[in-house]
Amino acid sequence: MKIRLSKSFQFEAAHWLPTFPEGHKCRRMHGHSFRIDIVVAGEVDQEKGYLIDYGTIKQAAQPVIDRLDHYVLNEIEGLENPTAEMIAKWVFDHVSQHLPMLTAVRVHETCTTQAEYRG
């Protein structure tokens, strides 16, 4: 049985979007309560009855989330233009090194907006 599952993480961070037009509100420094969904997929081990321990996902993702929490994202290498799209790819690239079954990262910048990156 093939299945997809996800685990959500939250962090607080500030950023500004340097490629937005002068005068645009997103060009100014502001903050968000971000939510990140780490999505994995694969075949369920029939003997165990599960795909992966959620704790394994947390172990792979938490150090990456900790690197973002309460920082100015623009100051993190690779996130000089920290749009939701770029954050999703950055998180994917870092988490996938420790979680081979990673298939997607969703970044919820607000409760009504999100970006999804599938590697």
Per-residue pLDDT tens over the stretch 59-104:
999 999 999 999 999 999 999 999 999 999 999 999 999 999 999 9
105-113 average pLDDT score: 96
Q: H or E segment at 9?
A: strand 2-15
Domain 2-117's class? alpha beta
pLDDT at residue 90, as a whole number: 98
Average pLDDT over residues 17-31: 96
Q: Which helix (H) or strand (E) holds 115?
A: strand 113-117
Q: Where are the domains of the chain?
A: 2-117
pTM: 0.96
Mean pLDDT, all residues of the chain: 97
- pLDDT value of position 114: 97
Instruction: List, edge to edge, every strand of the sheet that includes 71-72.
Output: 71-72, 2-15, 30-43, 102-110, 113-117
β-pairing verdict for 113-117 and 102-110:
antiparallel
Those residues whose C-beta lies under 8 Å from the C-beta of residue 22, and which sit 6 or more positions away, are: none
Query: Catalytic residue positions?
Result: 26, 70, 109
Please enumerate in sequence order all residues whose Cβ is within 8 A of that of 111, keeping only pairs 6 or more positions apart, or say none: none
Q: Would you place residue 29 in the very low, low, confident or very high pLDDT band (cuts 50, 70, 90)? A: very high
Q: Do strands 30-43 and 113-117 pair parallel, antiparallel, or not at all (unpaired)? A: unpaired
Q: What average pLDDT does range 12-36 have in this prediction? A: 97
31 closest CA partner among 61, 11, 8, 59 = 11
Residue 101: predicted pLDDT: 97
Rounded to whole angstroms, how far apart are CA atoms 112 and 37?
14
